Amino acid sequence: MSIGLTMLGLLESGPGYGYDLKRAYDANFGHAKSLAYGQVYSTLSRLLRDGLVEVDGVESGDGPDRKRYSITESGRERLEEWLSTPEKPVAELHNTLYTKIVLAVRSGRDATAVLDRQRSAHLARMRELTRRKTEAEPGEQLVHDFALFHLEADLRWLELAVTRLEPLTQEVSQ
C-alpha cells in the first residue's frame, strides 16, 4: 500500500498536522502495525516536494513549528487516478511453499508432512484472525475477512497439492 497516496486520501477531507495524519492512519489502517512518525514526516516531505500537498499553516509552540498540510489540486488528481485504477490481481506462479514441496520431493523427504505442517499453520492463523474479528470494529472486520478468504484459498490449494504429489514425484524424478 502506498503510504503517500493514503496520506493524500486522509488529507482530502481537510487539512491536518502530521500527528493527526498518523493517528488517522493508525486508526484506519494500522491494525497490524502502526505508522512511525518518521515515516509520516518523510512522506509529507516527498508529497510537498512533488506538489501534491502544501503547507496550509504553521503553528509555533515550545518545540518545532507545527505545519498543517492540505492536498493540492494535483494531489486530488493523483489520488483520483490511484483510486480509479484497479489493483493488479496477485496470482504468483512461483512461491516459497511450492519450492519447498518440489525440493522435498526431489530429496526424498515427506512432502505430505510439509503440506500438513503448512495446513496446521494456516488453520492456527485462521483461528486467531476469527477470534480477533469478533472483537473488531467493522473496518477491521473487513481486513480480517480479506485475510481469511486468502487463507481459505491457500487451504484449498494445499488439499489439491496433496492429490498431485504422486504425479509431481514422477515429473521431478525424470
**CATH value at residue 46:** 1.10.10.10
pLDDT at site 57: 86
- b/e per residue, 152-167, with b = 16+ CB within 10 A? eebeeebeebeeebee
Tell me if 89 is assigned to some domain: no
Q: Tell whether 77 and 116 lie within a shared domain.
A: no
Total of domains in the chain: 2
Q: Tell whether 63 and 124 lie within a shared domain.
A: no
Q: Tell whether 111 and 46 lie within a shared domain.
A: no
pLDDT at site 42: 96
Tell me if 91 is assigned to some domain: no
- Which structural domain range is residue 152 located in? 96-173
pLDDT at site 15: 96
Tell me if 130 is assigned to some domain: yes
pLDDT at site 95: 73
Q: Can you tell me whether residue 53 is helix, strand or coil?
A: strand
Handedness of CA 42, 47, 53, 54 (dihedral sign): positive
Q: Tell whether 60 and 101 lie within a shared domain.
A: no
Per-residue pLDDT tens over the stretch 9-33 = 999 999 999 999 999 888 877 766 7
Tens digit of pLDDT per residue, the chain (174 long)?
589 999 999 999 999 999 999 998 888 777 667 889 999 999 999 999 999 999 998 887 777 778 999 999 999 999 999 988 776 666 665 577 887 887 788 778 888 998 998 999 999 999 999 999 999 888 889 989 998 999 999 899 899 999 998 888 888 776
Q: Tell whether 70 and 101 lie within a shared domain.
A: no
Q: Tell whether 127 and 58 lie within a shared domain.
A: no
Domain-ending residue, one of 27, 56, 84? 84
